[in-house]
Structure 1
Amino acid sequence: MARQTGTYAIATTTGESVRAFIPADLPPAAPPLDPASYEVLNRQAEISVARLAGVSGLVASIDWLLYSAVRKEALLTSLIEGTQATITDLFDEEAGLPVANADDVEEVTNYLAAYRFVREQLQMPNGLPLSMRLLRQAHARLLDGVRGHGRQPGEIRQTQNWIGGTRPGNAAFVPPPADRVQDLLSNVEHFIHDPEPSLPPLVRIALVHAQFETIHPFLDGNGRIGRLLIAALLEEWRLLPQPLLYVSGYLKEHQAEYYRRLSAIRTDGDWEGWVSFFLEAVDVAAQTAQSNIIDIASLINNDRTRVLAVPKSSAAAYRLFELLATMPKFTVERVRAALSTTFPTASAAVRVLEEAGIVRETSGKASNRTYAYQGYIDLMRR
């Protein structure tokens, strides 16, 4: 039995009349989602996510893992949208160093700000719940001062948009008319907050992401906000205690299939194909993150021992090593400020880590030198 996944309405934009797709409400119905299509994949993905949560205990400080995972997700979700920033660019920007792709880096840092805002709100007793109001405020931060800043940041669109093509008439996809968006988003919110859900959490996340992308409620930034929603739901529904999973890596690697699976929902009613693809993405991403955490834990433990073995090691040097989790590139002045100490003490701490072979000077300058924790950077660039 073919599934009816939506209807069409005639919308007029830029002087053209087009057929705009209006998706049916969640969850899929007539027929409902076939459990046989997702049960095995869902079980495997849940196991991988649970193992990821468990292996995070290998690292004493969660900061090492959060810094890495959140920045990887920020970079990868932005790469899907065409930015050219690298992890090294991001480290340079955070260290106050000049970067070649300044505009692209700003888009990545805006994503970090948007996601940080969402997490803070969800963790605060009086914060906003996971809702379109919260996502609108995140969207305003995402587009603040970057490409797309003139496209109504933080506002649900009031006009017809389209995806692909040079004009509405040859677009790859035309989302629902603006006057239908609010009701469609309300259904997504109700689905998220259903007190008695009938589907497993990962399957529900797959449905929410696809529906959000189909509604395309903003004039720009829909992909990044939709993928931010994945990360937020993983925490909100207690699948992960921290945002350690960067699903956008798999989605970037299989970008054409990602878009094809989303499109097949609208054209063929193939929710099962999309859910299977998404569960595989979660499974692979969780296993990749597990492997990276094990490598980071090994690096940190070995290097911590090396710091303590240096004869001139000091409390300041040890404190600096622990700070490398969130500043893998730095200047002595940045160390001085981070340690709230004197310049000579900061310089001595850097020399200890340099002598231990943990950090190295990268600028080649006689003054205002830059240092990098290259082993950690290399793991994050992988």
Structure 2
Amino acid sequence: MADPEPRGTWLPVRWQPDPAATGPRRARTPALIEAFVPEPVDAGELSLSAAATTAAADAERAIARLQRTHAAGLLRTLSAQMLRSEAIASSQMEGVVVPSNRTLAKVGAGGRHHPNAQAALEAIAAVTDAYAWAAAGGAFTTEILLDLHRAVARGDRALAPHAGAWREGQNWIGRDPHTPAGADFVPPPRDHLEPLIDDLVALLERRDLSPVVQAAVAHAQFETLHPFADGNGRVGRILVGMLLRRDRLVEEIDPPVSLVLARDRERYVAALTAWRLDRRDGPSLLVSTIAEALEEAASATARLVDDVDRLLDTWRSTLDGVRAHSAAWALLELLPSRPIVSATSAAEALGRSPQRVRDGLALLQERGVVRPVTLGRRNVQYEAVGVFALLDAFERELSGGRLQIAETR
């Protein structure tokens, strides 16, 4: 059988290191490398296998079912949690250390500083803002991609010097940070980027493709271009969710696909490689990999919604005899999205008086629904009992234990 035909060409390049580079000698030694220059993308001309087409359709049905078959109020409640799961999973795939769910919630509620929490909160904000922009139906442009990188860079000091700018030099993917010699993959040289980025934006703007197929292909082409000095993986995975939001496949709750990709990282990398190097079978492998990850994430999220609904039923059973429109009942619906609250923050969210909310929290504490936690001097908050355990178990199961998810106690 003949070797697979690549979707692009190999270009010999002489890499010239920075003469001021520090580190081992190879960091200052020129090297002859082969960069890969992909062809422009015409997703409408892709020939997908029946299995890949079916996988994309199955993923779209699973995501649509998730939006349709669960109570809208609870979906909105969990939406913020799923955005957080996606953001931290994508960050951890790039080696960014992320605190536990509880630690993030504590810091977000005004708790003591944690060395990695602010970066994680910025990553969550970047995903949240990007998805909201896409849901509003904005047009993709090169400037939008640069803005997206700026947002990702806000929480990462290593990215800050390069925020919102195309890379100036040659980058590579491999274990050796000092030289591209022997790298796993070398993206196109800088002077080939602009027309390929314009082509990618044209693909992002198409409205005649399956959302899952479009998301998979756009993601793979973006990762092949690797247009930023760093942060490409995080930006590329955000694009997947943005396209699903823009095309209205996702309306209430986003399946955190990065949790599955983190677990199946070897398969994920193999699919990206096949997209570049195997014109015939690569697109089908890529689409199947992303589609199956999305379907699994959607199904697991539906199970989490059911688990949270059962937890809410347990909480509700403790309030038998309590007036239906009381603050305590209103708090029950708030707690899954804000597992740590103060009387003040809950009062603002619910539009109720702080005193009524304090009374409601006292009642929920008495019934075992919340427990007080002290986040600092004069900063007493209340933690919803059981929510973090469900979130941690969900993330651990979906990621196959590949992510550093702290135990909830």
The TM-score normalised by the length of structure 2 is: 0.82
Q: CA RMSD in A?
A: 2.8
Shift of 1:339: 5.6
* Distance of 2:226 and 2:106 partners within structure 1: 33
Do structure 1's residue 272 and structure 2's residue 284 form an aligned pair?
yes
Counterpart pick for 2:180 among 168, 172, 178: 168
Shift of 1:133: 1.7
Shift of 1:224: 0.9
Q: Which residue of 1 is the match for residue 402 of structure 2?
A: none
Q: Deviations over 1:178-233 (max 9, x none)?
A: 11112111111212223544xx3212211111111111111111111111111111
* Distance of 1:213 and 1:118 partners within structure 2: 18
Shift of 1:356: 2.1
Give the secondary structure class of the aligned counterpart of 2:34: strand
Counterpart pick for 1:259 among 269, 277, 288: 269
Amino acid at match of 2:190: A
Counterpart pick for 1:376 among 378, 387, 393: 387
Q: Which residue of 1 is the match for residue 297 of structure 2?
A: 285
* Distance of 1:300 and 1:315 partners within structure 2: 16
Amino acid at match of 2:126: A
Q: Which residue of 2 is the match for residue 142 of structure 1?
A: 152
Q: Deviations over 1:344-375 (max 9, x none)?
A: 54432211111121111244999643321122
Maintained 8 Å contact 2:43/2:203: no
Q: Which residue of 2 is the match for residue 22 of structure 1?
A: 37
Give the secondary structure class of the aligned counterpart of 2:105: helix
Maintained 8 Å contact 2:146/2:165: yes
Q: Which residue of 2 is the match for residue 231 of structure 1?
A: 241
Maintained 8 Å contact 2:136/2:246: no
Do structure 1's residue 98 and structure 2's residue 112 form an aligned pair?
yes
Amino acid at match of 2:194: Q
Amino acid at match of 1:116: T
* Distance of 1:173 and 1:25 partners within structure 2: 18
Do structure 1's residue 34 and structure 2's residue 36 form an aligned pair?
no
Give the secondary structure class of the aligned counterpart of 1:266: helix
Maintained 8 Å contact 1:59/1:297: no
Q: How does 1:70-89 map to 2 (within 5 A)?
A: 70-85=83-98, 86-89=100-103
Q: Deviations over 1:45-64 (max 9, x none)?
A: 222122112123x2535431
Q: Which residue of 2 is the match for residue 327 of structure 1?
A: 338
Maintained 8 Å contact 1:6/1:23: yes
Q: Using a 3 Å threshold, how does the CA distance of structure 1 residues 123 and 187 change in structure 2: closer, same or farther?
A: same
Maintained 8 Å contact 1:162/1:168: yes
Q: Using a 3 Å threshold, how does the CA distance of structure 1 residues 279 and 364 change in structure 2: closer, same or farther?
A: closer
Shift of 1:131: 3.0
Give the secondary structure class of the aligned counterpart of 1:44: helix
Q: Which residue of 1 is the match for residue 143 of structure 2?
A: 133
Do structure 1's residue 51 and structure 2's residue 65 form an aligned pair?
yes
Shift of 1:145: 5.0
Q: Using a 3 Å threshold, how does the CA distance of structure 1 residues 49 and 120 change in structure 2: closer, same or farther?
A: closer
The TM-score normalised by the length of structure 1 is: 0.87
Shift of 1:262: 1.2
Matched residues, percent identical? 28
Q: Deviations over 1:244-293 (max 9, x none)?
A: 21111110111122112212333344222222211211111111111111
* Distance of 1:124 and 1:41 partners within structure 2: 27
Give the secondary structure class of the aligned counterpart of 2:243: helix
Q: Which runs of 5+ in 1 are unaligned?
A: none
Do structure 1's residue 294 and structure 2's residue 306 form an aligned pair?
yes
* Distance of 1:150 and 1:240 partners within structure 2: 31
Amino acid at match of 1:27: D
Q: How does 1:186-205 map to 2 (within 5 A)?
A: 186-197=198-209, 200-205=210-215
Q: Which runs of 5+ in 2 are unaligned?
A: 18-29, 394-409
* Distance of 1:220 and 1:339 partners within structure 2: 41
Amino acid at match of 1:215: L
Amino acid at match of 2:301: A
Q: Deviations over 1:4-62 (max 9, x none)?
A: 31112233341433211111121369x94233241222232222122112123x25354
Give the secondary structure class of the aligned counterpart of 1:240: coil
